[in-house]
Every structure is written in structure tokens, then in C-alpha cells.
């Protein structure tokens, strides 16, 4: 299986929602803190951050904590699906180039009932993308 086929297979299959609050994400062990929370679904999330890329290059294990005005969840196991350059001019509608912004997409691992509930509370009322 080619890398692009594997990435397509890893993509989230649930509807995605756009956060409307000032939610942030922290990805450990690299302690990456999001600049903008881009989208969330019941199976994963995407965010952008300021940096040169993940130092640990962990593709199978990481932990996400997300904090929002509506709900939050901690110690969510994730698999990093993508970590790439982020086109800030296109997405954030800014005329300035931001060369160190990156987009990280993660797929949730096995979630506890509390983690599932927190994600469902967070998603409730958000606009589908």
C-alpha cells in the first residue's frame, strides 16, 4: 500500500465540525500547543500550530488534551495522521505569509466513556463543515 493510499485510509470518516470558540489543543510528548483549532469529529481533530514540525515524529502514540469554553478532555490517545505546512493565507484570509504555521491531523485512539462524552458535548451545536 502506498503512503497516499494509507493516508486516505487513515482519514476520519465521521462528519467534521468547525469550532466557534477559542479552543486549544496540547499534543504531548512534544508539548505542541495549537494556534487555531481547525475541526473536530467523533474520530479525530485537526489544528494548526506555530513550529518547525513535530520533534518526536510519533506516528502511533501521542496524547491530546483539548480545552474549550464548552467542554474539554484530557489524555486522549491519538495517532498522528498528518503534520504538514499550513496555508495560512488561504485558510485564515490573511495577506501575510506565516511560514512556520503547520497543520496537524490526529485520529483518536480507544476512548473512555468520559472522553467520548466530552467530545460529544463539545461537538453539540457546532456547524458541520
Of 52, 69, 75, residue with least CA distance to 104: 52
Q: Are 23 and 66 in contact (CB under 8 A)?
A: yes
Rg (CA), the chain: 14
Residue of higher predicted confidence among 8 and 65:
65
* pLDDT tens-digit readout, 44-101: 999 988 887 776 565 556 778 888 777 788 888 888 888 888 877 776 666 666 677 8
Map out the domains of the chain as residue ranges.
3-128
DSSP state of 57: -
Cell numbers linked to 46: 485537526
Which candidate, 96, 109, 101, places its Cα nearest to that of 36? 101
Q: Does the predicted TM-score (pTM) go above 0.85?
A: no
Please tell me the CATH superfamily of domain 3-128, with its number: predicted glycosyltransferase like domains (2.40.10.220)
Instruction: Residue 46: name the closest of 61, 66, 73 by CA.
Output: 66
Please list, in sequence order, all residues whose beta carbon lies within 8 angstroms of the beta carbon of residue 16, skipping any fewer than 6 positions away.
39, 40, 41, 128, 129
Amino acid at each position: 500500500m502506498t503512503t497516499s493510499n494509507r493516508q486516505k485510509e487513515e482519514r476520519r470518516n465521521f462528519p467534521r465540525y468547525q469550532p466557534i470558540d477559542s479552543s486549544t489543543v496540547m499534543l504531548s510528548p512534544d508539548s505542541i500547543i495549537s494556534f487555531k483549532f481547525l475541526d473536530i469529529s467523533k474520530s479525530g481533530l485537526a489544528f494548526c500550530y506555530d513550529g518547525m514540525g513535530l520533534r518526536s515524529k510519533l506516528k502511533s502514540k501521542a496524547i491530546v488534551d483539548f480545552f474549550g469554553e464548552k467542554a474539554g478532555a484530557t489524555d486522549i490517545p491519538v495517532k498522528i495522521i498528518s503534520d504538514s505546512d499550513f496555508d495560512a493565507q488561504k485558510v485564515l484570509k490573511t495577506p501575510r505569509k506565516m511560514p512556520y504555521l503547520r497543520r496537524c491531523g490526529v485520529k483518536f485512539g480507544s476512548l473512555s466513556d468520559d472522553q467520548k462524552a466530552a467530545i460529544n458535548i463539545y461537538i453539540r451545536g457546532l456547524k458541520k463543515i
